[in-house]
Amino acid sequence: MNWEETIDPVIIDNARKVDEIFEKFPYVKDLAQRLRERKMKVIENLEFYVEQTIKSVEKLGGKAYLAKTKEEANRIIGEIVGSEKKVVISKSNVAYETGLREFLQKQKNEVWETDLGEFLVQLQDGWPSHIVAPSIDLKREEAGKLIHKINPKIGKESSVEDMVRAVREFLMDKYIHADFGITGANAVSADTGSVTLVENEGNIRMDTVLPSSHIVITGIDKIVPTLPDALDEVMVQSANAGLFPPTYINVTSGQAQLQT
């Protein structure tokens, strides 16, 4: 049996795309090497950089919290959000690890995933089947049945374009009326306290600018020394995800942020 036959086809396709990107844009390899050296600097002086990040965030008028456990992280965000609020959230591995959406829902908040794949998984009351493409296992007909829950005009025979349009219209109302937008972070710059995010759907920028408040939940492993390093991070991460050049890059400064 060929080794490729034992691996998820999506992973194989992504690996090929990454190889093509690094061949076409060799400078990305240089960015990756430089970035590794910069991140090693943070690891070697972690306490200093965590403290600098917190001070930088607060200097810009934001609030920073350092949580040691997932329970503490959820508690802090839960106290900030309260109950009976409207919340939009973008795909975040840290939020998955803490069970943040479910935690906030138990506090009687209305919480919606805004990444298309994650949104379908939420409607399915399921679990992501792939770290990059959460609902890759869903067929078009299955997706139509799920979207029918929020728009009766959509069904298993609907076109993909109509399904996407229905989800976009539904979420736009949630963005506009949201009290809080929650995102992860691709990188956090210690010197400015800025958060950088890379995406290909445009939902993250909606999560960060339309709600009244923005909360970032991320790990201290995302800290890099400077803002240029943070921008290098999103370039390198985008390339390694097989999505280069990046579709959207967001830089957010002075918002409420959570380090775990």
Beta carbons of 32 and 244 less than 8 angstroms apart? no
To the question of pTM greater than 0.75 for the whole model, the response is yes
Residue 212 pLDDT greater than 50, yes or no: yes
DSSP structural state of residue 254: S
Q: Where are the beta strands (DSSP E) in 109-186?
A: 110-113, 180-183
**pLDDT tens profile 221-244:** 999 999 999 999 999 999 998 889
Walk me through the domains of the chain, giving residue ranges and CATH numbers: 3-138+179-259 (3.40.50.10420)
Checking if the pLDDT of 134 tops 70, the result is: no
- C-beta separation of 183 from 90 below 8 A: yes
Q: What is the mean pLDDT of residues 5-13?
A: 55
Residue 218: pLDDT above 50? yes
**3-class DSSP state for residue 224?**
strand
What does the pLDDT look like over 188-211, one tens digit per residue?
A: 999 999 999 999 889 999 999 999
Q: State pLDDT tens for residues 167-180.
A: 999 999 999 999 99
